[in-house]
Amino acid sequence: MTPNPPQNRGLTAIDGAMALIVILLIVQIWLLSATLESYLAGHREAAVPGAIISAILFAACLALYRFVRRIDSDVRRG
Amino acid sequence: MSWFRKPSSAPLWREEFSVFTADERYVNRRQFTKFLTLTSFGMLVGNLWILGRSLLRRAPSYPRLTVAATGELAVGGVKTFTYPTAQDPCILVRTAGDTCVAYSQKCTHLSCAVYYEKAQNRLECPCHQGFFSIADGSVLQGPPQRALPRVVLERQGEQWVAVRMEGETT
Amino acid sequence: MFGMEFYVDPSRCIGCQSCLKACEECDTHRGVSMINFDFLDRRETIATAAYVCWHCDNPTCAQVCPADAIKKYDDGIVGSSLKPRCIGCSNCVLACPFGIPKLVPEYEQMMKCDMCYDRTSVGKRPMCATVCPSQALAYVAPATIADTRREKPVNTFWFGNQKITTKVYMMAPADAGSIAIDVADYTWEGNHELVPQTF
């Protein structure tokens, strides 16, 4: 009933990547709300660093997604 | 999409809708991860939108509006008006002696109308118990994160005149 | 996973239909028996054979299902059709080389043996193998078969040019590496007709 060890490892790696993405997403949500609040209050200087950090977080999410795709491709078609 | 995929003998649909439950675990996780990445992109778009708005703003010009006469209200009295447009409700409070303060009436949390609570001498929002200071509109308590935008008043003879808004981004 | 495999030996079948009755008892398929029970040539002989699903390694029924309703699980069992997905199209009924899936019109659902997954997944034997008095249907460890039977288990079948490997073993003479079935060999001509199978 347990999957083959290589398949199991692949699943564990993907689970880890997903958990990491969720954490990054939580940070990104907070960043968006904080940037928005500060912009609406008239402090426009927060917009630039907010956008840069959001882009960095998105790039990290994208890299993790590509990692997941690579694992999936390797395990199922490797 | 072909350059994304490693070449394989089985067509894409057979791999995506595999009859083996072991494969399904991978497909479901990969698709969920893709959804999360899209969400992340959506939030990036939000931040870029804010950035764009902040860079493209021009300094707004405000009209002058006569709000009330100096003797019109008793101390602790309240008058509502709209400024700068008819869609922006504001509240004027005569605080002590001869001074008046005015703020936007839309709570900075979810835009409920704030009212002046005379006993506590503060502006209160009934929706989620957000309290604002009467002195400068800053948040005393509750979910609002931003201070109430202030209407800058000028005394012109026996009139209180609203000249501009402060502490907000339109 | 529990070290036991399913072995079918039609030559041992005595036609008692205990497997049918035992399978019917299961509430998970509402009293419909999932055993494929054949009278081989009822006019000439009392010989019978009882079959369960062969749980093929690359199940044809699952591959042709348009609704993705048939799944093969990690331990090799091919499940019966998933209730929310099966549309009753009979694709699997037509596709299965062994003729195992049956379409039940009252439910518009395909039903087939799933090797009593509720039992085998926790180490019990399927109902049919438990009650078969001659052990034509047997669910035992491979060592037991090697020790007690003359025949050899075979799980490779040829249908014309198509090779099918299965999880369930057929007991065959010792020199049979794989069993070749040519459908044309089993069509009757002349005054012998296939009798309708009833169970």
- Contact list in C for residue B24 (CB cut-off 8 A) is 71
| Count of structural domains, chain C | 1
pLDDT over 70 (residue C43): yes
Tell me the domain boundaries of chain A.
5-77
Does the pTM surpass 0.80? The reply is no
- In chain C, % of residues over pLDDT 70: 91
Spatial contact of C40 and C149, defined as CB atoms under 8 Å apart: no
Question: Residue C147: which CATH number?
Answer: 3.30.70.20
Angle CA B53–B57–B63, to nearest 5: 130
Whole-angstrom distance, CA of residue B19 vs CA of residue B13 = 11
Cβ-based interface (< 8 Å): residues of A facing B: 3, 7, 10-11, 14-15, 17-18, 21-22, 24-25, 28-29, 31-32, 35-37, 39-42, 44, 47-48, 50-51, 54-55, 57-58, 61-62, 64-65, 68-69, 72-73, 75-77
Q: Is residue B83 very low, low, confident or very high in pLDDT (cuts 50, 70, 90)?
A: confident
Is CATH 2.102.10.10 the right assignment for the domain spanning B65-166? yes
C70 → closest Cβ in B14, B19, B24: B19
pLDDT over 90 (residue C28): no
Q: Establish if C175 touches chain A: CB-CB under 8 angstroms.
A: no
Tell me the domain boundaries of chain B.
12-56, 65-166
Q: Average of pLDDT values for B114-133?
A: 92
> What does the pLDDT read at residue B1?
47
> When comparing pLDDT for B119 and C184, which is higher?
B119
Measure B13 CA to nearest chain C CA, in Å. Answer: 11
What is the predicted ipTM?
A: 0.89
B30 → closest Cβ in A44, A57, A72: A72
Nearest CA in chain B to A26: B40
pLDDT over 80 (residue C12): yes
Q: Average of pLDDT values for B120-129?
A: 92
pLDDT over 90 (residue C194): no
Q: Is C71 close to B17, i.e. CB distance below 8 A?
A: no
In a domain, C195, yes or no: no
In a domain, C192, yes or no: no
